Amino acid sequence: GENVEQHPSTLSVQEGDSAVIKCTYSDSASNYFPWYKQELGKGPQLIIDIRSNVGEKKDQRIAVTLNKTAKHFSLHITETQPEDSAVYFCAASKSGTYKYIFGTGTRLKVLA
């Protein structure tokens, strides 16, 4: 069945360092890959997304890379700040279904 694996489950980095979160999807028909940030007591917030016709996308300190052949995609956060501390979820979706298959989340802690 459809599945998205996400690693690591927890990640601690020093302020200013980079953080990388990796996801692997099973359905080769997936063509849309969003990343969400969830802070305590709040709903997930879309922070960046990528479609299958693009290999990389960047928005300031955040970037996402996609390897369709390996069915891997990754979130890269550079120059991390304490406010980046949250739970991050990756997801995969394909046209026509409109549902997202989410990974199990990564708890990122940025240590000041």
Partner 1 sequence: EAGVTQSPTHLIKTRGQQATLRCSPISGHTSVYWYQQALGLGLQFLLWYDEGEERNRGNFPPRFSGRQFPNYSSELNVNALELEDSALYLCASSHSGKNYGYTFGSGTRLTVV
The reply on whether position 86 binds partner 1 by CB under 8 A is: no
Contact 80, 19 (CB under 8 A): yes
Contact 19, 13 (CB under 8 A): yes
User: Which segment (10-18, 31-39, 55-63, 74-82) binds partner 1 by CB under 8 A?
Assistant: 31-39
Q: Report the residue from 28, 45, 67, 81 that binds partner 1 according to the rule CB under 8 A.
A: 45
CA distance 72 to 64: 11
The reply on whether position 27 binds partner 1 by CB under 8 A is: no
The reply on whether position 100 binds partner 1 by CB under 8 A is: yes
The reply on whether position 26 binds partner 1 by CB under 8 A is: no
3-state secondary structure of 87: strand
Q: Which residue has the tokens 């305590």?
A: 40
Q: Report the residue from 6, 24, 80, 85 that binds partner 1 according to the rule CB under 8 A.
A: 6
